[in-house]
Amino acid sequence: MAAQADVEVAVVTGGGAAAWRVLRWLLLLVFGAFFAIPLLALLNFSTKNPATKERTGAAWQALTEDPTMTDAITTSLLLAALTVVGMIVLLVPTMIWVRLRVPGATRLVEFLCLLPLTIPALVIVVGLKNVYAWVNYLVGDSALTLAFVYVVLVLPYAYRAIDSSLSSLDATTLAEAARSLGASWFTVITRVILPNLWSGVLGAAFIAVALVLGEYTISSLTHYNTLPVVIVQIGKVNAPESMAAALASLLFAAILLMALSLLDRRRHLSHGGR
């Protein structure tokens, strides 16, 4: 009787596992279709001539030949790089230092980092108007100065990504061990703590790039031609080229996410093999 009961339990368990696998694949197909159908619609629209309805690659070719679009793409990529560097330089050492030296200020730093979420972009532009008058006077009227604003905008998301990695790490013990061996605080932060935070830092970097490539309100109100602004402008006269640029930016973000994931996975595998 006991053996028969064990067989029945195994059959029920196996049937439940099979049903769960089927449900999992169905959910993956549903979510895949949810994300793929709009992308395929963009691809279809960007490769079709509105007048003749024929397939053409003119819209995609214009991405590299239209000087307005190429300048906007270059500007947005430079802004993304500057924003990532500025975010890492500003946020990572501050969070590590607060966690190690002044843990009582953690709530204050968290509040300051999350504050941009509560302020509308329009209010941020109005508040920064006078500040940017000095910025433009000192460094010139360049769209790259938007990196200062984008660093502020990305702080709430980057803080959460880095804080999750930092919370899973016994940073105090690592710092005390390194300091007992004669390491300086700079060495502790850059060579002891930071290498253990790469997953959070990479996640924050991807969020920063995605924000820069999709931010429209501030760049439009400050009259800078970033990629989202130019996509809207060109969409009024050449919709296929606008859709091609939008799809290209989405694909770039997806490829970047996969590259960061593979980089983080290879890093974990290399450390696991040591």
What is the tens place of the pLDDT at every residue in 144-163?
Answer: 888 888 998 999 999 988 98
Say what the pLDDT of residue 11 is.
Answer: 47
Handedness of CA 209, 211, 216, 222 (dihedral sign): negative
Query: What integer is the mean pLDDT of 45-71?
Result: 81
Quote the percentage of the chain above a pLDDT of 90.
9
> Cα separation of 220 and 208, whole Å?
18
Please, what sign has the CA dihedral across residues 55, 56, 60, 62?
A: negative
Q: Mean pLDDT over residues 96-115, rounded?
A: 87
pLDDT at 7: 46
**Residues with Cβ < 8 Å from 126, sequence gap 6 or more?**
none
Q: Tens of pLDDT along 115-137?
A: 888 888 778 887 777 777 777 77
Per-residue pLDDT of 197-238, as tens digits, reads 888 888 888 889 888 988 888 888 888 888 889 888 888 888
pLDDT score for 5: 47
**pLDDT at residue 82 greater than cutoff 90:** yes
Q: DSSP label at 236? A: T
Taking residues 11-25, report their average pLDDT.
Answer: 73
pLDDT score at 78: 92
Q: Return the closest-CA partner of residue 248 out of 51, 59, 78, 67.
A: 59
Chain Cα centroid distance, residue 169: 22
- For the segment 227-270, what is each residue's pLDDT rounded down to a tens digit? 889 888 888 888 888 888 888 888 888 888 787 777 766 665 56
Q: Which superfamily does CATH assign the domain made up of 58-272 to? A: MetI-like (1.10.3720.10)
Contact 110, 157 (CB under 8 A): no
CA distance 192 to 183: 10
Per the model's pLDDT, the better-predicted residue between 250 and 12 turns out to be 250
More confident residue, 11 or 83: 83
Would you state the pLDDT for residue 85? 93
Instruction: Give the residue-averaged pLDDT of 15-42.
Output: 85
CA distance 223 to 216: 10
pLDDT for the residue 9: 46
